[in-house]
Amino acid sequence: MTLALAAGWGRLPGLVLQALEARGEQVQLWEMEGFPMDDAGGREVRRYRLETLGSFIATLKETGVTRICFAGAVTRPRVDPAKIDAATWPLVPRIQAALAKGDDGSLRVALAFFEEAGLKVVGVQDLVPELVPAAGAPTRAQPDEQAKKDARRGQSIVAALGAADVGQACVVSRGQALAIEAMPGTAWMLASVAAARDGIPARGLVRGEGTDAMSPVMEQAVTFLAGEAAQGPLHLDGLPGGGLLFKAPKPGQDRRVDLPTIGPDTVRQAAAAGLAGIVVEAGGVLVLDAPEVISAADDLGLFLWLREPE
């Protein structure tokens, strides 16, 4: 039973690939054109385009693929009508409708194409369950009573965001929502909190776990947010200190794709934003390089809480 791994940006595809190969799985490695995998390690990588999705699915079936896993970040590609092939034209109306939806809605449409062709879509957490740690707080620092209140507030905020198919994360301090995640992602959100608090977010800490290829754009954004002076245009006096990053899947999300992710970079970004900790939904968020995440949190004095939803 050959598995196709459709890889995107970030550390996640490489971690999944290593785990699969260690178990002797047969894996076909694919990437969407324009969104290269960070490190294929010399392996053969096949490419596809949204405009040739029908042919991509046909090729998978012809080469004996029975399962497909999507891992890593991609952004919505620009569609070139001139490159749509004959196998994809019948799918175009549904693709157009999908692109008008939020992330979860569009992904549901995309997954349906593969399932209708007889391919099984499997989630990263099913293939590499160790990326979803058990509930608990494995760091030296522990959430206090205020953090527990802020976590409940964060859960309600993310549930509201998710119901609108917007984002999967927010920053909360003393019951106040300091920032919410939208299309630019968690790294951008945390950089904006750092800019609001200190004026200049720490450079090199604006990379998302799945968006390393976006770092030049992110660095330009930091330059704008910071401005030339010690306090940039987003600086605000009187913001409550501390607080936490809260991350969880959207309500009713298809958890086979686009699970929220944190990693060592997230810890450093949270510290740069002046947060006291990170709270993620236990069983619903991927933790990349968990030992390094815990070590970084301990070094920076942050807590990590894998919290059961209430």
Instruction: Give the end of a domain, one of 96, 127, 158.
Output: 127
- In the chain, the DSSP E strands lie at 2-7, 27-32, 46-48, 65-71, 120-121, 169-173, 176-180, 244-247, 261-262, 277-281, 286-287, 303-307
Residues 206 and 270 in one domain: yes
- Number of structural domains (the chain) is 2
We report the CATH number of the domain holding residue 218 as: 3.40.140.80
Structure tokens at 31: 């990437």
Per-residue confidence (pLDDT) for residue 251, from 0 to 100: 87
Q: Please give the average pLDDT of every successive group of 10 residues along the chain, which has 310 residues.
A: 89 92 92 86 89 94 95 83 92 82 75 93 94 96 98 97 90 96 91 80 48 47 52 73 95 88 96 96 96 97 96
We report the CATH number of the domain holding residue 83 as: 3.40.50.20
Per-residue confidence (pLDDT) for residue 39, from 0 to 100: 79
Per-residue confidence (pLDDT) for residue 22, from 0 to 100: 93
DSSP 52: G
Give helix 92-99 / helix 103-116 axis angle, nearest 10°: 160
Instruction: Give the end of a domain, one of 73, 103, 127.
Output: 127
Query: Regarding beta strands 2-7 and 27-32, do their DSSP bridges make them parallel or antiparallel, or are they unpaired?
Result: parallel
Residues 36 and 67 in one domain: yes
Per-residue confidence (pLDDT) for residue 233, from 0 to 100: 67
Q: Is 236 helix (H, G, I), strand (E, B) or coil?
A: coil
Instruction: Give the end of a domain, one of 127, 154, 184.
Output: 127
At 194, which helix (H) or strand (E)? helix 186-198
Helix then strand then coil, in percent of the chain rounded to 5, is: 40, 20, 40
Residues 76 and 157 in one domain: no
Per-residue confidence (pLDDT) for residue 245, from 0 to 100: 98
Side-chain-facing half-sphere of 95: CA atoms under 13 Å: 20
Residues 111 and 140 in one domain: no
- Give the span between the Cα atoms of 5 and 19, in whole angstroms: 12
8 A C-beta contact, residue 206 and residue 272? no
| Residue 301 backbone dihedrals phi, psi, to 5 degrees | 80, 20
Per-residue confidence (pLDDT) for residue 206, from 0 to 100: 46
Residues 55 and 112 in one domain: yes
Per-residue confidence (pLDDT) for residue 214, from 0 to 100: 42
Instruction: Choose among 128, 138, 145: nearest CA to 280.
Output: 138
Domain housing 214 = 132-307
pTM of the model: 0.84
